[in-house]
């Protein structure tokens, strides 16, 4: 019990990493299982943000400089651009298939 309280009260690197890992897994799960294209994009965002969290954590606790945080700002920027493109692709798919269910876009199947 005390170890748990201690673990929960002194927030260190481990805590952040665990949170990032959980977020990453959740993101993977969403990407792999959702049928909605926008949901998949949300999952991708989660994955990217978890990676950014990792960077920040390592930068705060293991390295004296702020490199990690700069990387995270880049990641957020990239995530935004990629989300824009992803939405454009979703729009194009909608125009062709009239749905954003990814299982509908299977014309490449033989």
Partner 1 sequence: MDQPLQTDYLRWIVLLPLLGAALNGLFGVRIQERFGKKVVAFIACAPVVVAFLLSFTAFMTLLSLPADKRFLIDRFYTWIPLDTFNIDVAFWVDPLSVIMILVVSGIGGLIHFYSIGYMHEDRSLWRYFAYLNLFTFSMLLLVTADNMLLMFVGWEGVGLCSWALIGFWYTDHTNTRAGNKAFIVNRVGDFGFILGLFLLYWSLSDQGHATLAFREIDQYVPLLANMELWGVGVATLITLFLFVGATGKSAQIPLYVWLPDAMQGPTPVSALIHAATMVTAGAYMIARLNKLFSMAPATLEVIAFIGAATALFAATIAITQTDIKRVLAYSTISQLGYMFLAMGVGAYSAGVFHLFTHAFFKACLFLGSGSIIHGLQGEQDMRKMGGLRTHMPATFWTFTVGVLAIAGTPFLAGFFSKDAILWQAYSSAHGGPMLWGVGVFVAGLTAFYMFRQYFLVFFGPCRADHHVQEHIHESPKVMTYPLWILAVGSVLAGYLGLPEFVGGSHLDHWLEPIIHGHGDAHGHHSLTLELSLMGTSILAAGLGVLIAAVLYFYRTPSPDRMGDSANFLSRVLYNKYYIDEVYQFVFVGGTLVLARVGAAFDRYVIDTIVDGTAKITVVVSWFNGLFDKYIVDMLVNAVANVTFAIGNNFRRLQTGNINTYLYVVIGVVVFMLLFQLS
The reply on whether position 105 binds partner 1 by CB under 8 A is: yes
110 binds partner 1 (CB under 8 A): yes
Residues in 59-78 at the binding interface with partner 1, rule: CB under 8 A? none
Please say which residue, 69 or 101, places its beta carbon nearer to partner 1: 101
Q: What is the distance between the alpha carbons of residues 37 and 90, in angstroms, rounded to a whole number?
A: 7
Alpha carbon distance 54, 24 (integer Å): 10
Position 11 contacts partner 1 (CB under 8 A):
no
Alpha carbons 102 and 7: distance in angstroms, whole number: 42
Interaction of residue 109 with partner 1, rule CB under 8 A: yes
List 28, 42, 51, 83, residue binding partner 1 (CB under 8 A): 28
Report the largest interatomic distance among the alpha carbons of the chain, rounded to a whole angstrom.
60
């Amino acid at each position: 019990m005390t170890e748990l309280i201690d673990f929960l009260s002194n927030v260190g690197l481990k805590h952040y990493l665990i949170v990032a890992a959980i977020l990453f897994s959740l993101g993977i799960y969403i990407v792999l299982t959702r049928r909605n294209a926008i949901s998949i994009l949300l999952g991708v965002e989660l994955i990217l943000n978890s990676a950014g969290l990792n960077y920040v954590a390592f930068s705060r606790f293991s390295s004296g400089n702020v490199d990690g945080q700069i990387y995270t700002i880049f990641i957020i920027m990239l995530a935004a651009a990629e989300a824009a493109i992803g939405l454009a692709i979703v729009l194009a798919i909608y125009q062709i298939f009239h749905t954003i269910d990814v299982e509908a876009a299977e014309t490449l199947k033989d």
